[in-house]
Amino acid sequence: MSQPPITPVTTPPPDKGGDDMATLAKGGRTNTLGFILRLLGGLPFLFVGFRLYGVDEMGRFAAAFVVIEIFALICALGEKRGLAQRLTEGIETDEDTPANLVFDAMLVSLVVSGLACLLLITFPAIIFPNGTGSDFDMWMIAAIPAFALTEILLAAQAYRYDIATTVRARAVVEPWVKSIGITAFFFIPALAGGGIALAFLAAIYAALLTALYSFLRTYGLPKAWRPRPRYLSKMTSRALPLIGADVIERGTRLLDVFLLGQFTSAGTVGIYWFAKEVVSLPQKLKTSFEPILAPVITKNLKTGNMDAIASQVRQVGFWIIALQAGIALTLAIPGEAVMGLGGPEIVGGTGALAILLAAEVIASMAVVSESVLVYIARKRNLAISVGVITLQGTLSVGFILLVQHWGYPEGFQAAGAAAALFVALGVASLVKSLVLKTLLKAPVSNWRWPLVWAAAPAVIVGFIFTEFTPEWVEIIIGGPAIFAAYFWVIWKYGFDEADKVLFRKNVAPIDSDLNASN
């Protein structure tokens, strides 16, 4: 079979501010569509998992998954955002081929992943606090190196402005393999007990192969590459602040599940995990722009164009919060019907669902601010993140124990963990945006009053559907109607011409405050 052509790798040409925003819009649009596909592909996994395997088994899986993802992020060495800077520096100094630089990261990642796997095998209580459900569950640990390598490969593709590979790997291949696998394994008697773990493992490795195929087409194989211990040590040391930022940023979304696993039953974790997975779409919207935002920011930092960076933060921040608010209303208003998809015992997590959706909206400013702070104030950003996750952990344990002391049911314990996350993310958004505003000497806020105006008709439409229609109508017709009412108002009164570039496939560079400094 003939080999696929190798696309030559060159440094992206310098753009003007309007070109930057068009690039960000295209990447964000592609990734946003991808995460919608991911939600649709992941829903069968949730539905089948909770219906066939039960709340307790899915709760055990959730507790294990959060530990795996945290370890995988550590093993990815912060390359999700750091690789763009290393590639830019390496190409400009002609020290290495891009493929060699990526392989450097992959080698260190494999070594660290091996150590992480050994640790979890030795101390399985870390990953399975409520015990395992089958002999296959321990195999989930093998997902760590694949997860980490996929992050590095996708970061390399993002540097070439290839977001489509991320969509294919994370939004199509991974969720659909997982959903198909959990159904298929259930009907194989010898594998049925480990269906959740095996489906998860198959999905992670399928995503890795998808990313690797695209990487080899774009970069090719390394040339005259060999391990360089001194350089690799320096690279790892330099990556520590980025690793900390990545782990803590993601950890704020996973710590609540981990703590619930330590202080409550597997059933409570299962209820909360269902709500968290429903919230995954608005949550992923924030990260939709991260892969494409990194090379744009590093380019403007190199030229010292702080005004352009502030404009990009304001613009992207508004895009994210506007879309998140609409999706949050769409899912929260018919919340009981949405949670009921997992079974009657899941409905008790409706309050947690509503709080989690609100938390993701308020967190948008923190994530966009951090995408710049990791480059211009790494240690300060890390210190803030450490403070935020400490606050969240303290509040989570306090709220959970308080609810248990008062004798409230499992759903209230889940809501307590969600409330702690809401407070922590709100603090993070406030502090990080203020720090970024000071450093850039320009406003960075993404808030606009039309967000409130657009919510009003959405709430009215939602009230009509929840009060006067059955649950299946609430979801199938009511949900889209709520979003349509919201989006019509935000489009008409909230979006200006610069904002509308997000929804246009063919767009020329725009002239606005986004490129005023050019």
- Per cent of the chain over pLDDT 90 is 35
Q: Which of 26-30, 62-66, 92-96, 238-242 has the lowest mean pLDDT?
A: 92-96
Model confidence at 416: pLDDT above 70: yes
pLDDT in the model for residue 233:
86
Averaged pLDDT for residues 397-410? 87
pLDDT in the model for residue 152:
93
Averaged pLDDT for residues 42-47? 80
Q: How confident is the model at residue 292 (pLDDT cuts 50, 70, 90)?
A: low
Q: How confident is the model at residue 508 (pLDDT cuts 50, 70, 90)?
A: very low
Neighbours of 436 (CB within 10 A): 26
Model confidence at 18: pLDDT above 60: no
Most confident of 22-31, 56-65, 108-117: 108-117
Cα angle 319-287-337, degrees, rounded to a multiple of 5: 80
Average pLDDT, the chain: 83
State the Cα–Cα distance between residues 146 and 206, nearest whole angstrom.
Answer: 9
146-196 confidence digits (pLDDT tens)? 999 999 999 899 888 887 888 889 878 998 999 999 999 998 888 888 899
Model confidence at 3: pLDDT above 50: no
State the Cα–Cα distance between residues 101 and 107, nearest whole angstrom.
Answer: 10
As given in the structure block, the two tokens for residue 152 are 């590095």
- The reply to whether the predicted model has a pTM over 0.95 is no
pLDDT in the model for residue 393:
93
Sign for the CA dihedral angle at 108, 218, 89, 285 comes to: negative
306-316 confidence digits (pLDDT tens)? 888 888 888 88
Please enumerate in sequence order all residues whose Cβ is within 8 A of that of 494, keeping only pairs 6 or more positions apart, or say none.
Answer: 322, 448, 450, 451, 453, 454
Model confidence at 396: pLDDT above 90: yes
Q: From residue 294, how far is each of 84, 166, 373, 450 by CA, in Å? A: 7, 15, 11, 29
Q: How confident is the model at residue 38 (pLDDT cuts 50, 70, 90)?
A: low
pLDDT in the model for residue 56:
86
102-152 confidence digits (pLDDT tens)? 999 999 999 999 999 999 999 998 888 877 778 899 999 999 999 999 999
Q: How confident is the model at residue 35 (pLDDT cuts 50, 70, 90)?
A: low
Q: Which of 205-219, 337-351, 472-486, 489-503 has the lowest mean pLDDT?
A: 489-503
Q: What one-character-per-residue DSSP string does 276-336 give?
A: HHHTHHHHHHHHTSHHHHHHHHHHHHHHT-HHHHHHHHHHHHHHHHHHHHHHHHHHHTTHH
